[in-house]
């Protein structure tokens, strides 16, 4: 049982008996490092109900706890903070209750989910005109990690994406391939399909810009030149042909999109993310039209004289939003409304959704969620926009059209190469085969990339520095992986039975600090799930590792002469390693057995 659950009833009782007051909630926090104590009760909120000196109030409550709760050893009061010291026996009992639980902190989803139990998490959602880049990496890592955290918190989760496989940007790549491709394929060029198609997207932009420059030289305004450039006009006609179902255009579209899908799958596999379902914009862009008709009949939407359909959200502090053009064609909002409804039809137990999309779409999702609520869908109350900031490099922003993006595949290779370089400098890989070394470099490189991305609060923009991320010291993935590997080395050297239950009268303060940190893990998972924040998991793991390294440097483990203490410290080390592995599993990061 957690300390809060043990202490709360006794504190309520103490307050009632000592001050004749009933309170509903007690505020706890971790005791500051510079004070003695394991858990702190904050007295400030009680001053609204109890008149008096906070030190006196804290002293009376503390005295009651010492006299009535066997787990409470002593206390001290600093200003309005009651710091409580918990007995070693409590922590030893706690440890013995969890040491055999290899998934401590994780909650399994119910075997039989009913309506509204499951959550669908959408992430990635790329365009099929270019390869995945650095921004997509943050998106994928966030979405995947949040899905895994929600699962660990006891939710059934479906991972999904919607692929933006239609529109003028797709036609630009198609047109450039048709005009300049000379029949090139991924097989003939040796390029991944997404890279090949992305090259033609860049080529289109170069030709388009040259045409604009030429038209301006002929006396056209810049706006006129942009609209009249022959390449754009051709791409727009190709889009019309696609929408009309022209066979040769559809065939080229299918062929080039498949090249991209094959390329994406390879990237996802290397990145270590997966999906349970896929939705395609070419299938979903008309889905919302029936819903618009329903909304019109219910008076939720309104039709303008030109035939376009809108929703007036000004009473809700937003604006008027178009949901159907005057020619009857759908807009993105229409598509997103229809797709959300279709997903619940496809997965009947879904009662909420998480959309992993950059913060430039904040307003779009406010509108989408509000429209779905007004349409009367109960699950619309459980929609969340996992909004994240831009990723930049020390060299600045990226631009897809100009081909200045950081390619996801190239970045993963670079991270692996950097990990190799640093590992070879450290020179600790004697006895490794080449295959083992390559696997380790990839584990370290990807671990560095993922941890660096995920330790930052999703809402914040971030600067990604590849070299800094692979540092083997500080708040980095490799530092944590190295500590895990160090523990595995200790466990391999422990040539005695460390599975037995042992009895100790007392534990070292460093052991106690580790146990306190481990005890936080279940609640931490729930907090990370509630806040949709992998950063909470990442930074918790770093604090756990720092605490372990302090323990490792302070006490003897295998050299301890007392057998019971030695066995306990090995068991404790093993539990720390298990917790690191579970936490990193939630971040999609592997841990090496040797390093």
Confidence of residue 110 (pLDDT cuts 50, 70, 90): confident
Q: What share of the chain is helix, strand, coil (3-state, %, to 5)?
A: 55, 10, 30
How sure is the predictor about 136, in pLDDT bands with cuts at 50, 70 and 90? very high
Tens digits of residue pLDDT in 528-554: 999 999 999 999 999 999 999 999 999
How many whole angstroms separate alpha carbon 452 and alpha carbon 141?
11
Contact 1, 90 (CB under 8 A): no
Cβ neighbour number for residue 83 with a 10 Å cutoff: 20
From the number of C-beta atoms within 10 Å of its C-beta (0-12, 13-18, 19+), residue 73 rates as middle
Vertex 31: Cα angle to 26 and 35 (nearest 5):
135
Confidence of residue 115 (pLDDT cuts 50, 70, 90): low
Please state, in angstroms and rounded to a whole number, the distance separating the CA atoms of residues 388 and 362. Answer: 10
- The 8 Å CB, 24+ separation contacts for 396-399 are 398/133, 398/134, 398/135
Separation between Cα atoms, residue 143 and residue 454, nearest integer Å: 11
Average pLDDT, the chain: 93
CA angle 390, 445, 494 (to 5 degrees): 130
Which one, of 143, 137, 150, 145, lies nearest residue 462 by Cα?
Answer: 137
Mean pLDDT in residue range 478-493: 96
CATH number (3.30.1360.70, 3.40.470.10, 1.10.10.10, 3.40.50.300) of 3-86 reads: 3.30.1360.70
Written as six digits, the tokens of 531 are 């806040």
In percent, the amount of the chain with pLDDT more than 70 equals 97
Residues 6+ apart with CB under 8 A from 99: 571, 574, 575
Q: Is 162 strand, coil or helix?
A: strand
CATH architecture type of domain 118-288+330-392: 3-Layer(aba) Sandwich (3.40)
In terms of phi and psi (left: phi > 0; alpha: psi -120 to 50; beta: otherwise), the region of 73 is: alpha
Using DSSP's 3-state secondary structure scheme, residue 161 falls into strand
Secondary structure (3-state) at 37:
coil
pLDDT digit string, tens, across residues 319-336: 999 999 998 888 899 999
Tokens describing residue 27:
């505020």
Tell me the three state secondary structure of residue 304: coil
Q: What is the maximum alpha-carbon separation in the chain? A: 93
* Contact (CB, 8 A) for 41 and 26: yes
Q: Quote the CA–CA distance of 439 and 136 in Å, as a whole number.
A: 24
> DSSP 3-state assignment of 31?
coil
Q: What is the pLDDT of residue 396?
A: 52
CA distance 411 to 419: 12
Separation CA 211–CA 228 (nearest Å): 9
* Mean pLDDT to the nearest integer, 562-573: 96
Question: Which helix (H) or strand (E) segment is 322 a member of?
Answer: strand 320-324
pLDDT of residue 290 exceeding 80: yes
Position 398 scores a pLDDT of 43
The neighbouring-strand residues paired with 393 are: 396
pTM: 0.92
Question: For residue 395, what pLDDT is reported?
Answer: 67
Gap between the Cα atoms of 522 and 528, Å rounded: 10
Beta bridge partners of 81: 42, 78
Backbone φ and ψ for 121, nearest 5 degrees, come out as -110, 120
As a whole number of angstroms, the distance between CA 475 and CA 560 comes to 30
Hey, where are the domains in the chain?
3-86, 118-288+330-392, 289-329, 408-586
Token readout for 142 is 């966030």
For 486-509, write each residue's pLDDT tens digit. 999 999 999 888 788 888 989 999
Question: According to CATH, what is the number of the domain 408-586?
Answer: 1.10.730.10
Handedness of CA 360, 361, 363, 366 (dihedral sign): negative
Residues of the chain with pLDDT > 90: what percent? Answer: 84
Residue 67: CA count within 13 A, CB half-sphere:
9
Distance CA 179, CA 517 (A): 62
Report the run of H or E that residue 538 belongs to, with start and end. helix 534-554
């Amino acid at each position: 049982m957690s300390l809060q659950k043990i202490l709360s009833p006794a504190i309520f009782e103490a307050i009632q008996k000592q001050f004749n007051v009933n309170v509903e909630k007690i505020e706890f926090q971790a005791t500051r490092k510079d004070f003695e104590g394991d858990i702190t009760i904050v007295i400030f909120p009680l001053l609204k109900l109890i008149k008096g000196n906070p030190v006196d109030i804290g002293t009376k409550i503390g005295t009651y706890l010492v006299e009535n709760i066997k787990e409470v050893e002593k206390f001290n009061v600093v200003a309005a903070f009651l710091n409580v010291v918990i007995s070693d026996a409590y922590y030893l009992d706690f440890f013995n209750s969890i040491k055999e639980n290899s998934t401590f902190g994780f909650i399994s989803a119910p075997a039989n989910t009913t309506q509204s139990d499951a959550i669908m998490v959408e992430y990635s959602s790329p365009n099929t005109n270019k390869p995945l880049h650095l921004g997509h990496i943050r998106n994928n890592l966030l979405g995947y990690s949040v899905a895994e955290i929600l699962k660990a918190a006891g939710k059934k989760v479906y991972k999904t994406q919607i692929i933006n496989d239609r529109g003028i940007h797709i036609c630009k790549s198609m047109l450039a391939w048709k005009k300049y491709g000379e029949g090139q394929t991924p097989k003939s060029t040796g390029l991944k399909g997404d890279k090949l198609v992305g090259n033609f997207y860049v080529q289109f932009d170069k030709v388009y810009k040259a045409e604009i420059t030429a038209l301006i030289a002929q006396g056209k305004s810049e706006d006129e030149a942009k609209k009249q450039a022959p390449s754009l006009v051709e791409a727009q006609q190709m889009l019309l042909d696609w929408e009309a179902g022209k066979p040769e255009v559809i065939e080229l579209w299918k062929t080039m999109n498949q090249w991209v899908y094959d390329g994406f799958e390879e990237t996802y596999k290397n990145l270590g993310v997966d999906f349970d379902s896929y939705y395609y914009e070419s299938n979903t862009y008309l889905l919302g039209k029936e819903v618009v008709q329903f909304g019109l009949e219910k008076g939720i939407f309104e039709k303008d004289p030109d035939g376009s359909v809108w929703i007036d959200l000004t009473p809700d502090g937003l604006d008027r939003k178009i949901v159907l053009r005057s020619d009857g064609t759908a807009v993105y909002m229409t598509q997103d409304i229809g797709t959300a409804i279709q997903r619940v039809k496809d997965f009947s137990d879904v009662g909420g959704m998480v959309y992993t999309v950059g913060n430039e779409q904040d307003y779009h999702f406010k509108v989408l969620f509000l429209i779905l609520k007004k349409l009367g869908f109960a699950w619309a109350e459980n929609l969340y926009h996992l909004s994240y900031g831009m990723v930049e490099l020390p060299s600045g922003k990226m631009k897809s059209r100009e081909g200045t993006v950081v390619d996801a595949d190239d970045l993963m290779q670079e991270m692996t190469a950097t990990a190799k370089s640093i590992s070879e400098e450290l020179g600790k890989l004697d006895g490794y085969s080449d295959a083992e070394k390559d696997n380790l470099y990839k584990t370290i490189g990807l671990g560095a990339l993922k941890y660096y991305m995920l330790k930052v609060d999703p809402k914040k923009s971030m600067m990604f520095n590849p070299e800094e991320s692979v540092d083997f010291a500080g708040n980095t993935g490799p530092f944590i992986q190295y500590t895990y590997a160090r523990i595995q080395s200790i466990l391999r050297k422990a040539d005695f039975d460390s599975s037995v239950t042992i009895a100790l009268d007392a534990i070292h303060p460093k052991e106690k600090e580790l146990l306190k940190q481990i005890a936080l893990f279940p609640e931490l998972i729930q907090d990370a799930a509630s806040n949709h924040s992998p950063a909470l998991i990442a930074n918790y793991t770093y604090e756990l590792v720092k605490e372990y390294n302090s323990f490792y440097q302070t006490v003897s483990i295998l050299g301890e002469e007392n057998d019971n203490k030695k066995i306990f410290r090995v068991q404790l080390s093993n539990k720390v390693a298990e917790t690191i592995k579970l936490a990193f599993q939630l971040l999609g990061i592997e841990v090496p057995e040797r390093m």
